[in-house]
Structure 1
Amino acid sequence: MASDDIAQLVDALSKTHVGDGELSFKGLGMKLDNAESVEELVQEIEQCHDLRALRLEGNTLGVEAARAIARALESKDQLQRCYWSDLFTGRLRSEIPKALESLGSGLMIAGTRLTVLDLSDNAFGPDGVHGMEQLLRSPTCHTLEELRLNNCGMGIEGGKILAEALMECHRRSVAAGSALTLRVFVAGRNRLENEGSSSLAKAFQLMGSLEEVHMPQNGINYAGVTALASAMRHNPDLRVLNLNDNTFTKRGTLAMAQALRHLRNVQVINFGDCLVRCEGAIALAGVLREGLPILKELNLSFGEIKEAAALVVAQAIMEKPYMKKVDLNGNFLGEDGCEALRETMDSQDKADMLASLSDDEGPDEDEEGHDDDHEDDCCNEEEFGKENGTAKEDSPSKSHCPDEVLSFLDTPSAEKLLQLGEMTGHLLPEVDRADPHKSADVLLKVASSYSEEPVTKTTVLETFDMLLRKLLSGSAFQAYTFLSTLLVLMGVLKGEGKKKKKVPLVAGQLLCLEHGVQQDYFAQHHAFLLHTVLSKNREALNACSSSMERLMSALEKRCLDQN
């Protein structure tokens, strides 16, 4: 080694930190190519008899240098925390797996029991995951609590390899008598996409111990989001969920909202830049109404959320005692919407909770339905319910609907409804909380038969009450999902997926809603939701202005009701 290089290394090593069992070479920018280049470093490792944490990040490590360090680690059985991020800058892709294998071998020979392994910012790809595969499967990782692999370029293949290694580690740790309890998992910017994230979801579900999950910028859409949502339900201690800059759309958001209903310890949710949109935001508001009792931060920024849906979210967080920050920046609120949101928060002395709205995109001018996921987002909600565990509990067995009922649903009319008589009860199985689109369609068909003729009016309103009572009697999440779907079919709220045919609106439908709002089954927060959305989209109901005014009056009274 040249004298200048030796002098540089001696100077760098003089800056190392030793104390509390930690040996740090962090950020020294050392180019460690071979055994000779790490002689001083290895000596310091060997002389640190109670080594519990080793920081190597911010240097660049070659294969031979890694092998020399690994040999020094073979006697360090107390080592628990390895901070090895940004460790291979400028190295060939083929070098990194070999270096990782060597380092892992040293740890396994020593019999260490790691709690933290940080390999972030190492662009090692799937080959790098192969390089640490044996380490992750070994007893050395049975005690692992934090695994940080941010910005490693693992890709789909790497995600699958990692998932299998974690599952094998868990199986072996269970057999050894002490299950792997991974608490923190970080894997942002890894191009995991749907297949990689779905594979990892299986590992997450198996472990059930996660407290923090950070997987931003991974190219995940609704299929991967749905898999992750299902896994999160099995991690009851989850506190932080960061999936920023993936693509939820309606279907993924509904799945994630469904999962969040079952989690009581979540404190931070980051779904920014995830295309949550209006229906998804309203569904999340339903979850906020009934769950997430200790939530502190909610990020729904850059999600194409419009004013009315943003206000519904704002209303839902008002009673959260620990809430500190809600981020709705970069959405489609417009100047008036931003002001309305600020006023809503300020009216409850929550203005300091609202993040900046400086990047708002302005009102959305596109009145057509979104179609980003083509037919994928257009699956019916019954399929969604089956995937997320609601269909079984909420759906009746397939009903044998009488021909008269089918005839009414095909071409609804007051005459046909009256002819049903006691058979109107057969309409009840036709509305299902797991299929809000079909349920909203049936309800609007019943309401379209309304007239002021006394017998017809009584029959329609009684049938309407029977159906709406059932649909609003479930969770707030289910009720909000149904009400947002109803508003989409009425043409008041913009929907998602292939453009769905709206139900031709008639005055009777609004008059039935006016009646329903005044009934005991219609909760005040349901009235808040309808009033908020309708008041921001009055022009959609101009054809029925008189009935609209009656409905809005009833909603305003219900919102002010103190009972």
Structure 2
Amino acid sequence: MASDDIAELVDSLANTHVGDGELSFKGLGLKLDNAESVEELVQEIEQCQDLRALRLEGNTLGVEAAVAIAQALESKHWLQCCYWSDLFTGRLRSEIPKALESLSSGIMMAGARLTVLDLSDNAFGPDGVRGIQQLLKSPTCHTLKELRLNNCGMGIGGGKILAEALMECHRSSVTAGAALKLRIFVAGRNRLENEGSSALAKAFQLMGSLEEVHMPQNGINYAGVITLASAIRHNSELRVLNLNDNTFTKRGTLAMAQALGHLRNVQVINFGDCLVRCEGAIALAAVLREGLPILKELNLSFGEIKEAAALVVAQAVMDKPYMEKVDLNGNFLGEDGCEGLREAMESQDKAVMLASLSDDEGEPDDDDDDDDDNDEGEAAANDDCCNGEEFGKENALLEKEDSSSKCHCPDEVLSFVACPSAEKLLQLGEMTRHLLPEVDMTNPHKAADVLLKVASLYSEKPVIQTAVLETFDMLLKKLLSGSAFQAYTFLSTLLVLMGILRGEGKTKKVPLVAGQLLCLEHAVQQDYFAQHHASLIHIVLSKNRDALNLCSSSMERLSSALEKRCLYQH
């Protein structure tokens, strides 16, 4: 080791004692190649009798130097925190696993019980994860609270190795009588993709103790998001969820919204740059309305959300007592939409809550339909990564009709659904109740289609009008009687089919007729139609009036009824 380097290290040792039991060599930029180069450092470690935290980040460590440090750690039973990020700059990929294995061996030999392990910003790939695999499985990590592996290039393979190690650690810790309770997990920028994140989801669900999950920029699309959602709902103490810059699209967002509905302690949600889009944003608004009581921050920036959906989200956060920031920047609002959003927040004295809208993308081309992410086709063919996921099962039902319910459905009802007519509806009489199974919330698209078929038969003839409105009320009352998530998912699907809301993918819209709007006008005035349901439709309709130009008279009647209901205070 050069004399200048030795002098630099000696000078720094005077400042290594940051606190009781902590040694810090952070950010010294030392090139630690061999045993000689770490002599002074090793001496400091050996002399610190109650070493509890060791900071080595911001230096570069070779294999021989790691062996020397590991030997010094073999007697450090009280060690709890290893801050070793950015520790291998300029090292060969083959060196890093060996160095990590040595350090791990020293800690395990000491019988230490770690609470923090930070190896972020070390580009060690899957082999690096293998370097800490035995450490993670050992009793040394039964007490681990924070695991930080941000920007390590783990890839799919590394994610799977890590997941297996965490599950083994949990199993062995349970056997030992004190289950692993990992609280903070950080693994952004690791190219985990669907397979790696799905493997980790199994570990998350098994542990059930997470309070913070940070997995931004991992190339995860909706299939991986669904498995993460399934696991996250089992972590009841979750406070922070950061999945920024992955690709949710509609399916992933609906699954995540449903999972969030089971949690009560979430304070920060970061779904920025995740292609949440309009239907996803509305689903999240539903969860905001009836859950997430202590939420402080919501990031839905750069998600291709249009003005109407953004306003629905804004309305949903208004009454959150702890809400500090909602970020809707970089979406498709346009100048008027940005101003409308600001005015809506200001009208409720919540303007300070709204983040900057300086990067808004403007209004998109109306003919440019949202397309699902290109990976979705491939991911759908690999739904084995969604095994056991409740929402995945529901989505499977969207693709095929429930044959079991059809077996118990009278032929007259099936005939009506296949080819509806006023005459058939009148002939059904009391059998209209058999239409209820046809509007199952596991398939909101089919439910909306059936409802609109009934509404399309609306007539001024009293007997037909009565039959249509009674049937419409019966079906819609059921569809709105569930959770806010179910109701909002259905209503957004209904509005997409009617061409009022921009949906995702190539949705075939139903032929719009005045009777459908008049049935809605009637329904809005009924007790079962909640004020916030009316508000949702009113917001979306007011921002897309051009879609109903062919039924302008009926549209005005519906708009008037919606305005009255939104003003009505229960």
Please, what TM-score do these two structures have when normalized by structure 1? Answer: 0.97
SS in 2 for 1:194: helix
- Closer, same or farther: CA 419–368 of 1 in aligned 2, 3 Å: farther
- Cα deviation per residue 1:176-231 (whole Å; 9 max; x = unaligned)? 00000000000000000000000000000000000000000000000100000000
Query: For the residues of structure 1 that align with 2:278 and 2:37, how far apart are their CA atoms?
Result: 58
Q: Determine whether 1:250 maps to 2:242.
A: no
1:403 to 1:149, Cα distance in 2 relative to 1, 3 A: same
Give 5+ residue unaligned stretches, structure 1: none
Q: Is the 8 A contact 1:76 1:112 kept in 2?
A: yes
Letter paired with 1:540: A
Q: Answer yes or no: is 1:556 the counterpart of 2:563.
A: yes
Distance 1:26 1:2 in 2: 20
Partner of residue 546, structure 1: 553
1:406 is aligned to 2:410: no
In the other structure, the counterpart of 1:319 is: 319
Corresponding residue of 1:19: 19
Contact 1:246 / 1:274 at 8 angstroms: preserved in 2?
A: yes
Task: Give the CA deviation at 1:500.
Answer: 1.7
Residue equivalent to 2:291: 291
C-alpha distance after superposition, 1:134-169 (max 9, x if no partner): 000000000000000000000000000000000000
Secondary structure at 1:555 match in 2:
helix
Shift in alpha-carbon separation, 1:392–1:225, aligned structure 2, 3 A: closer
CA contact (8 A) 1:149 1:187 kept: yes
Work out the CA distance in 2 between the residues paired with 1:288 and 1:43. Answer: 55
Q: TM-score, normalised by structure 2?
A: 0.95
CA contact (8 A) 2:230 2:389 kept: no
Deviations 1:491-524 (A, max 9, x none): 1111112x12110000000000000000011000
Classify the secondary structure of the residue corresponding to 1:546.
helix
Q: Which residue of 1 aligns with 2:384?
A: none
Alpha-carbon shift at residue 371 of structure 1 (Å):
2.2
Q: Residues of 2 paired with 1:164 and 1:342: CA distance?
A: 47
**TM-align CA RMSD:** 1.9
Map 1:498-517; keep pairs closer than 5 Å.
499-517=506-524
Give the match for residue 431 of structure 2: 423
CA contact 1:57–1:85 (8 Å) conserved in 2: yes
Aligned counterpart, 1:57? 57
Aligned-partner Cα distance in 2 for 1:428–1:5: 79
C-alpha displacement of 1:17:
3.3
Query: What is aligned with 1:480?
Result: 488
Over 3 Å counting, the alpha-carbon distance change for 1:86 and 1:158 in structure 2 is same
Q: After TM superposition, list the pairs within 5 Å mapping 1:462-477 onto structure 2.
A: 462-477=470-485
Equivalent residue, structure 2, for 1:182: 182
Mapped to 2, the partners of 1:543 and 1:387 lie a distance apart of 37
Q: How does 1:183-262 map to 2 (within 5 A)?
A: 183-262=183-262
State yes or no: 1:440 paired with 2:448. Answer: yes
Cα offset, 1:402, TM superposition: 2.1
| SS class of match (1:213) | strand
Equivalent AA in structure 2 for residue 387 of structure 1: F
The counterpart of 1:520, out of the listed 482, 503, 527, is 527
Q: Describe the SS at the equivalent of 2:168.
A: helix
- Count matched residues: 559
Q: Is the 8 A contact 1:413 1:448 kept in 2?
A: no
Distance 2:292 2:461 in 1: 47
Q: Per-residue deviation at 1:460?
A: 0.3
Amino acid paired to 2:67: R
Local SS of the residue matching 2:448: helix
Show the 5 A alignment for 1:274-423: 274-373=274-373, 376=376, 386-387=390-391, 398-399=405-406, 400-423=408-431
Say if 1:12 and 1:366 are closer, same or farther in 2 by CA, change over 3 A.
Answer: farther
User: Which consecutive unaligned segments of at least 5 residues does structure 2 have?
Assistant: 381-386
2-side partners of 1:429 and 1:391: how far apart? 17
Structure 2: which amino acid aligns with 1:162? L
User: What is the aligned counterpart of 1:454 among 450, 459, 462?
Assistant: 462
Match of 2:383 in 1: none
Superposition deviation, residue 375 in structure 1? 8.9
Cα deviations by residue, 1:253-298 (Å, 9 ceiling, x for unpaired): 0000000000000000000000000000000000011100000000
* CA shift for structure 1 position 420: 1.4
Report the Cα distance in structure 1 between the residues aligned to 2:56 and 2:389, rounded to whole angstroms: 48
Match for 2:235: what amino acid? N
Question: Given the superposition, is the C-alpha separation of residues 375 and 38 from structure 1 closer, same or farther in structure 2, using an over 3 Å criterion?
Answer: closer
Letter in 2 for 1:559: C
Match of 1:122 in 2: 122
Structure 2: how far apart are the matches of 1:30 and 1:432? 64
- Tell me if the contact between 1:405 and 1:424 (Cα under 8 Å) persists in the aligned partners: yes
What's the secondary structure of 2:405's corresponding residue? coil
Q: Which residue of 2 aligns with 1:85?
A: 85
* Paired residues of 2:538 and 2:559 also in contact (CA < 8 A): yes
CA positional deviation for 1:238: 0.2
Distance (Å, rounded) in 2 between the aligned partners of 1:375 and 1:417? 43
- What's the CA shift string for 1:106-158, capped at 9, x where partnerless? 00000000000000000000000000000000000000000000000000000
Q: Distance in 1 between matches of 2:530 and 2:414?
A: 31
Conservation of the 8 A alpha-carbon contact between 1:241 and 1:269: yes
- The alpha carbon displacement at 1:368 in A equals 3.7
2:209–2:237 contact (8 Å) kept in structure 1:
yes
Shift of 1:451: 0.1
Shift of residue 3, structure 1, vs aligned partner: 2.6
In the alignment, does 2:497 pair up with 1:493?
A: no
Report the residue type matching 2:135 in the other structure: L
Query: How far did residue 365 of structure 1 move?
Result: 1.1
Q: Which residue of 2 aligns with 1:68?
A: 68
The one-letter code sitting in structure 2 at the alignment partner of 1:402 is P
Structure 1 CA distance for aligned equivalents of residues 31 and 450 of structure 2: 70
Q: Identify if the C-alpha distance between structure 1 residues 365 and 115 changes in structure 2 by more than 3 Å, giving closer, same or farther.
A: same
How many angstroms does 1:369 deviate by? 2.7
Deviation of 1:441 (Å): 0.2
Aligned-pair CA distance for 1:433: 1.3
Instruction: Check whether the contact 1:386–1:392 (CA below 8 A) recurs between aligned residues.
Output: no
**Change over 3 Å in CA distance of 1:475–1:145 after alignment to 2:** same
Find the residue that maps to 1:77 and give its secondary structure.
coil
For 2:266 and 2:526, the matched residues in 1 are separated by 34
State the secondary structure of the residue aligned to 1:398. helix
User: Which residue number in structure 2 is paired with residue 271 of structure 1?
Assistant: 271
CA-to-aligned-CA distance 1:27-74 (integer Å, 9 cap, x gap): 000000000000000000000011100000000000000000000000
Shift in alpha-carbon separation, 1:180–1:396, aligned structure 2, 3 A: farther
How far apart are residue 373 of structure 1 and its match?
3.1
Question: Percent identical across equivalent pairs?
Answer: 83
Matched, 1:155 2:162: no
